[in-house]
């Protein structure tokens, strides 16, 4: 496509992207450098049906004047980024100096909200992404081998987990693993431990969420792989069969190299999706045991009665940076291949 | 059945008896939490809407909508049914208007005790009170010869006895869901121990002390007597546990007693379900519970005509003797003419015992939020009480700094 045609073709999309994605990200970035003005409080008498007390309220007159003068708030620089609820620079230095063993240091760091969330998010990505790729590929291969007649219904059944709304899917599983649910009660019987609960143990909660993630994301990988498998040329495969190559050898040397670009694509999308894991935590009510970066943002925006815009903005920016770092190796590799291909 | 009857009664008598508000213009749009008493309240106010436009949003997610919706100008809602805690963010952001003039003009039947005044200005009109108190299964306690517990120490002893008897595996329940609910249990228990959340006259946290540790230890003891999934159980979930007969002692909101004691569910359990006041803890004499009021506030960013219409409609309900007589089961109404029934025992006992109201402080929401996430690991046995309290304080301080409180 000539560059000029491409430009006009891409312009509407590009504009929409700048308007709805680019600008909000810039605005979030700016917000992350600001904190609220110092609150001006005053002591007043408060009376309610249960009696009167003297306590403090925010002095609205003074506050609104300060706010009008500087609506963005107080410039805080990287203050929000480095505070305890985010990167916790000072705390980490302190732990490093105070703790005796490396294990104790890791324990301490693991207790900070941002790192706790980061570790869960990375663990989730590391377990879910490869398994999704593997499972998706195996399902695609098996379905590609069954008779055409039953393929349609089978494909529909396979992509069901993707059709089900994530929240509903996780709720269904949540009820099943309840200590009185069908899975939960059976596991208790099997292990002969009436106090065993999938929901109260941190490790088991993590495993549940990861299994749910694999179940939910595999259909996407499957659909893309299945489509890619249809483009694999039959001639080399037939030739390989004649040469006596086993099924495994055919897949390894012909099919995989052929669909390799698609694998990269699915890996990229899957990594991005998994890094933003959120719904299962809400669906499984797993806030106590598992927190992800997206959940931290949500928590800052809605769980407090006071909305922490600065905190939420800082975590958002760091999530974007995190995704960029995760994707960098794959992107660099694709870019290099693209260059050599030219 | 009873709910339907009440609704029918309203339909039959409501419109004719109370159509005298004479509201001619304005539009009314109310944001409220979702439980039966509030529905009754809003329905009652609707009867006198006259020719005004009337809309209502009942949502259990009301806290998340309120501030953004009222910040807009003109704001989405003309009124917000708030409580001790949820009025604070509205005050902090200056989103609600003083009601003095309206009370003078239209608030004839409203009692002085219903007015929430802050710095001499009426900011809300309360109409019901709420608290968390003990529920017990009379049959189970009687069978085992256990007296009705008055303190949390007795609750623990009773629960252990019930468990040992083999009747129930997890005899105790309370809403310990990580987040707001769990933090609320901490607030109750900490106040029961005589704790103060902040150093006097400042926003510096004051929970990392012996009282805080005692609070956490009691919560842990109770959690060990609860269903192992307690960290995922909110008020609705423990209500279901209770109705399935899995629980003999429970701390739950007074406002939920109505649905707990209605005709749905096993009649034997309903019959044996009894209410008593909140328990004390650690030898203290005030209950480990907080008193709450629910009342209405009016949005600032809304034309005066709307505020006028909204106030008149809501004041009609907030001074309605017929409503409190008909719906006496649903709540402890603060409205004149309310005769407390058996379902109000919890709140009345709490007031008698000198329970404290939930602290109406501008920075309390941040403390509540920090508690909800940072004490979980202690309950899971992953860290010490001191460490958990240190974490709460640290998390709170970071947030309070960002919000400009410190």
The reply to whether B263 and B364 lie within a common domain is: yes
pLDDT, one tens digit per residue, over A173-210 is 888 888 788 888 888 888 888 777 778 788 889 999 99
Residue appearing with tokens 């003297």 = A54
CA angle A319, A324, A329 (to 5 degrees): 140
Label the pairing between strands B27-32 and B53-58.
parallel
Cβ–Cβ < 8 Å for A86, A311: yes
Q: Which residues of B touch A314 (CB under 8 A)?
A: none
pLDDT, one tens digit per residue, over A121-138 is 999 999 999 999 999 999
pLDDT value, residue B15: 40
The reply to whether B96 and B161 lie within a common domain is: no
d(CA B243, CA B229): 17
Which DSSP letter does residue B231 get? Answer: G
Q: Is residue B320 part of a domain?
A: yes
Question: Given an 8 Å threshold on Cβ–Cβ distance, is B404 in contact with A55?
Answer: no
The reply to whether B388 and B251 lie within a common domain is: yes
Question: Given an 8 Å threshold on Cβ–Cβ distance, is A56 in contact with B361?
Answer: yes
Cβ–Cβ < 8 Å for B223, B379: yes
Q: How many CB atoms lie within 10 A of CB A328?
A: 10
Q: Return the percentage of chain A with pLDDT > 90, whole number.
A: 51
d(CA B44, CA A76): 49
Which DSSP letter does residue B285 get? Answer: S
The reply to whether B100 and B196 lie within a common domain is: no
Task: HSE, CB side, 13 Å, CA atoms: give it for residue A132.
Answer: 34
The reply to whether B19 and B93 lie within a common domain is: yes
Q: Which residue is closest to A83 within chain B, CA to CA?
A: B398
The reply to whether B270 and B386 lie within a common domain is: yes
**A164 pLDDT higher than 90:** no
Q: How many CB atoms lie within 10 A of CB B341?
A: 12
pLDDT value, residue B19: 45
Strands (E), B131-190: 132-137, 172-174
The reply to whether B380 and B236 lie within a common domain is: yes
Return the residue in A191, A195, A306 with the most chain B beta carbons within 10 A, the one to mutate for interface testing: A306
Range of the domain at B47: 2-129+291-339
Q: Where does chain A have alpha helices with state H?
A: 3-17, 23-31, 60-69, 79-82, 89-98, 102-110, 113-145, 148-163, 166-176, 182-191, 202-229, 234-242, 247-250, 256-275, 279-283, 293-298, 309-341
Least CB–CB distance from B91: residue in A58, A202, A304: A58
pLDDT value, residue B202: 86
Q: What domains sit in chain A, N to C, each tagged with a CATH number? A: 38-75 (no CATH), 112-341 (1.10.3720.10)
Task: Write phi, then psi, for B167 (nearest 5 degrees).
Answer: -70, -45
Q: Is residue B345 part of a domain?
A: no
The dihedral through the CA atoms of B383, B389, B392, B397 has a sign that is negative
- Reported as type and span, the H/E element at residue B182 is helix B180-192
CA distance A305 to chain B (A): 5
Show the low-confidence residues of chain B (pLDDT under 50): 8-19
Q: Which of B264, B322, B271 is nearest to B6 (CA)?
A: B322
Q: Is residue B227 part of a domain?
A: yes
Residue appearing with tokens 């490093």 = A96
The reply to whether B139 and B232 lie within a common domain is: yes
**A51 pLDDT higher than 90:** no
CATH at residue B149: 3.40.190.10
Q: Is residue B282 part of a domain?
A: yes
Label the pairing between strands B115-118 and A41-48.
antiparallel
Q: Which residues contact B375 (CB under 8 A, 6 or more apart)?
A: B182, B183, B186, B216, B219, B388, B389, B392
Q: Which residues of A touch B360 (CB under 8 A)?
A: 46, 48, 55
What pTM, to 2 d.p., does this model score?
0.86
pLDDT, one tens digit per residue, over B143-182 is 999 999 999 999 999 999 999 999 998 999 999 998 889 9
Task: Write phi, then psi, for B4 (nearest 5 degrees).
Answer: -65, -40
Q: How many independent structural domains does chain B possess?
A: 2
Question: Given an 8 Å threshold on Cβ–Cβ distance, is A50 in contact with B293?
Answer: yes
Question: Given an 8 Å threshold on Cβ–Cβ distance, is B402 in contact with A194?
Answer: no
d(CA B6, CA B37): 12
d(CA A111, CA A117): 10
Cβ–Cβ < 8 Å for B291, B305: no
pLDDT value, residue B49: 86
Q: What is the ipTM of this complex?
A: 0.83
Q: Which of A35, A51, A46, A57 is nearest to A300 (CA)?
A: A35
The reply to whether B7 and B121 lie within a common domain is: yes
pLDDT, one tens digit per residue, over A242-263 is 999 999 999 999 999 999 889 9
pLDDT value, residue A188: 85
pLDDT value, residue B6: 52
Question: Given an 8 Å threshold on Cβ–Cβ distance, is A84 in contact with B377?
Answer: no
The dihedral through the CA atoms of B198, B199, B201, B203 has a sign that is negative
pLDDT value, residue A288: 82
Q: Is residue B347 part of a domain?
A: no
Least CB–CB distance from A306: residue in B377, B387, B403: B403
Q: Which long-range contacts (CB under 8 A, 24 or more apart) does A227-231 make?
A: A228/A140, A228/A258, A228/A259, A228/A262, A229/A140, A229/A141, A229/A144, A229/A255, A229/A259, A230/A144, A231/A258, A231/A259
**A299 pLDDT higher than 70:** yes
- Reported as type and span, the H/E element at residue B143 is helix B138-143
The reply to whether B236 and B378 lie within a common domain is: yes
Q: Is residue B346 part of a domain?
A: no
Question: Given an 8 Å threshold on Cβ–Cβ distance, is B293 in contact with A55?
Answer: no
Question: Given an 8 Å threshold on Cβ–Cβ distance, is B359 in contact with A55?
Answer: yes
pLDDT-derived band of residue A304, with 50, 70 and 90 as boundaries? Answer: low
How high does pLDDT run on average in chain A? 90
d(CA A238, CA A288): 55
Cβ–Cβ < 8 Å for A312, A301: yes
The reply to whether B138 and B75 lie within a common domain is: no
The reply to whether B275 and B183 lie within a common domain is: yes
- Reported as type and span, the H/E element at residue B286 is none
**A139 pLDDT higher than 90:** yes
Q: Return the percentage of chain A with pLDDT > 70, whole number.
A: 98
Cβ–Cβ < 8 Å for B198, B204: yes
pLDDT value, residue B182: 95
């Amino acid at each position: 496509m000539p560059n000029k045609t491409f430009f006009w073709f891409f312009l509407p999309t590009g504009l929409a992207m700048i308007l709805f994605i680019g600008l909000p990200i810039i605005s979030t970035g700016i917000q992350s450098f600001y904190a609220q003005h110092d609150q001006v409080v005053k002591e007043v008498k408060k009376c309610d049906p249960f009696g009167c007390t003297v306590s403090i309220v925010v002095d609205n007159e003074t506050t609104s004047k300060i706010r009008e003068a500087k609506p963005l708030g107080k410039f805080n620089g990287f203050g929000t980024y480095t505070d305890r609820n985010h990167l916790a620079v000072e705390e980490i230095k302190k732990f490093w100096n105070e703790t005796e063993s490396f294990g104790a240091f890791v324990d301490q760091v693991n207790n900070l909200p941002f790192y706790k969330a980061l570790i869960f998010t990375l663990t989730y990505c590391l377990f879910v992404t490869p398994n999704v790729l593997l499972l998706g590929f195996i399902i695609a291969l098996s379905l590609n081998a069954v008779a055409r007649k039953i393929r349609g219904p089978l494909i529909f059944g396979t992509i069901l987990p993707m059709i089900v709304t994530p929240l509903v899917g996780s709720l269904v599983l949540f009820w099943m693993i309840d200590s009185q649910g069908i899975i939960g009660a059976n596991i208790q019987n099997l292990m002969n431990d009436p106090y065993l609960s999938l929901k109260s143990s941190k490790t088991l909660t993590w495993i549940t969420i990861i299994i749910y993630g694999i179940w939910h994301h595999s259909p996407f990988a499957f659909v893309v792989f299945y489509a890619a498998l249809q483009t694999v040329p039959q001639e080399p495969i037939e030739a390989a069969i004649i040469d006596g190559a086993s099924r495994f050898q055919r897949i390894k040397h012909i099919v995989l190299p052929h669909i390799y670009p698609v694998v990269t694509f699915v890996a990229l999308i899957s990594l991005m999706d998994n890094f933003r894991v959120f719904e299962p935590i809400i669906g499984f009510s797993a806030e106590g045991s598992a927190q992800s970066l997206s959940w931290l943002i949500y928590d800052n925006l809605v769980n407090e009665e006071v909305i922490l815009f600065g905190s939420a903005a800082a975590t958002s920016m760091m999530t974007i940076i995190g995704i960029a770092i995760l994707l960098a190796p794959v992107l660099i590799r694709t870019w290099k291949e693209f260059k050599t291909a030219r | 059945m009873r709910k339907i009857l009440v609704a029918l009664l309203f339909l039959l008598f409501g419109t004719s008896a109370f159509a005298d508000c004479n509201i001619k213009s304005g539009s009314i749009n109310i944001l409220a939490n979702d439980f039966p008493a509030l529905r009754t309240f809003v329905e009652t106010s609707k009867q006198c809407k006259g020719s005004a436009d009337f809309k209502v949003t009942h949502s259990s997610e009301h806290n998340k909508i309120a501030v953004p919706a009222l910040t807009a100008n003109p704001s989405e809602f003309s009124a917000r049914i708030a409580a001790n805690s949820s009025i604070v963010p509205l005050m902090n952001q200056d989103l609600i208007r003083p009601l003095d003039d309206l009370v003078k003009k239209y608030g004839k039947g409203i009692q002085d005790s219903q007015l929430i005044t802050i710095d001499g200005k009426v900011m809300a009109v309360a109409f019901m009170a709420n608290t968390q108190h003990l529920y017990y299964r009379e049959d189970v306690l009687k069978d085992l010869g256990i007296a009705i517990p008055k303190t949390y120490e007795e609750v623990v002893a009773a629960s252990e006895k019930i468990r040992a008897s083999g009747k129930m595996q997890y005899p105790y329940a309370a809403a310990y869901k990580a987040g707001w609910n769990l933090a609320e249990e901490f607030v109750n228990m900490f106040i029961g121990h005589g704790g103060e959340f902040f150093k006097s006259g400042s926003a510096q946290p004051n929970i990392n002390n012996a009282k805080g540790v005692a609070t956490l230890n009691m919560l842990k003891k109770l959690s060990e007597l609860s269903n192992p999934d307690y960290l995922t159980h909110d008020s609705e979930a423990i209500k279901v546990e209770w109705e399935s007969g899995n629980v003999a002692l429970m701390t739950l909101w007074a406002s939920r007693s109505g649905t707990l004691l209605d005709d749905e569910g096993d009649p034997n359990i309903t019959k044996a379900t009894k209410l008593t006041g909140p328990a004390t803890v650690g030898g203290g004499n005030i209950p480990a519970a907080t008193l709450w009021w629910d009342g209405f506030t009016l949005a600032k960013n809304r034309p005066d005509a709307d505020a006028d219409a909204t106030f008149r409609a809501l004041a009609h309900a907030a001074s309605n003797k017929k409503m409190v007589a008909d719906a006496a089961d649903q709540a402890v109404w603060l409205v004149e003419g309310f005769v407390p029934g058996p379902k109000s025992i919890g709140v009345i006992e709490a007031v008698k015992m000198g329970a404290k109201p939930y602290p109406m402080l501008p920075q309390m929401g941040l403390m509540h939020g920090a508690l909800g996430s940072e004490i979980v690991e202690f309950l899971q046995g992953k860290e010490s009480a001191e460490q958990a309290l240190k974490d709460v304080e640290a998390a709170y301080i970071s947030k309070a700094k960002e919000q400009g409180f410190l």
